[in-house]
A and B are shown apart, each in its own frame.
Chain A
Amino acid sequence: MTAAEIKGVFFFDPHHFLETFGYDVAISQYNLFTPLIIFLLRYYYLLYTKKDEYKIGKLHYLPYKPFGIMAKYISIMLLISIPAVFLARSLSNNTVDFSQAVNAMYIFLMLSLLTWIFSRQKREDELIHNIRLESMQLAVYFNYAVLLLANLALYSGWFLLFMFMNLITIEVFFLIRFYCALLKLNKETSNPAV
């Protein structure tokens, strides 16, 4: 056995490992399975530890003030300003490089959207709580559908671009579904109180 071969056996080389799948595939596999594995581990852990217990545990959210309000405004500002930066770039005939700024803004947008999702509404009761959980489940389903499609249809550069966009698909889908459901609820219950 040569030294290189020994090294190959005993030292894990991620590049080599990824090459056996192809990089895109490895990244996508990682993305597809991690939430499911975390879900299964948590699910069976709870089933096991709460065998004789029937009290449903509380879910934790951030308070409406200041997190909910702040995250909402920051997200909306970023959602408006990112396209504005692209517009500015095309207007300046690509003379100014905005890529660093856009990148930072996008990562920041992801964080602020997450904070928005995980903070309470002004009056969060059990009905809104149910709507929230329903929307979260739908968002995960939607995300998996999109991910699977992208895995089949896209590759290399397009796939990486998709993965980058995918950082906010769950969040955006959740927010649209959640606020649509709240709006529908408001409409349905807007008859004058008897």
Chain B
Amino acid sequence: MKNTLRIERAIKNITQGELAELIGVSRQTINTIESNRYVPSTVLALKIARVFGKPVEEIFILEEED
């Protein structure tokens, strides 16, 4: 699973820390999701999508091997 978190953040112009603050997780969690080292739970993915005002599929995308 890949994601467009970094791009979405750039568009909205917020840092990892600010995004983490908005959702109520640690900055490390956002960082590991961005670098594809952690797959968030459905609840967390939905919360992230809500911050950017987009559907989850636009931010998290399934890959071939998934």
A interface with B by C-beta (< 8 Å)? 123, 125-128, 185-186, 188-189, 191, 193-194
Contact = CB atoms under 8 A, between A and B. Distances in A.
A125 B16 contact: no
A126 B44 contact: yes
Interface of B: 6, 9-10, 15-17, 24-29, 31-32, 37-38, 40-41, 44
Given A126-B44, A127-B38, A185-B32, A193 B16 contact: yes
A186 B28 contact: yes
A189 B28 CA distance: 6
B25 A189 contact: no
B15 A193 contact: yes
A128 B32 CA distance: 12
A184 to B, nearest CB: 10
Given A125-B24, A188-B37, 17 more contacts: A123-B25, A123-B26, A125-B25, A125-B26, A125-B29, A125-B44, A126-B40, A127-B32, A127-B38, A128-B29, A185-B28, A186-B28, A188-B31, A188-B32, A189-B28, A193-B16, A193-B31
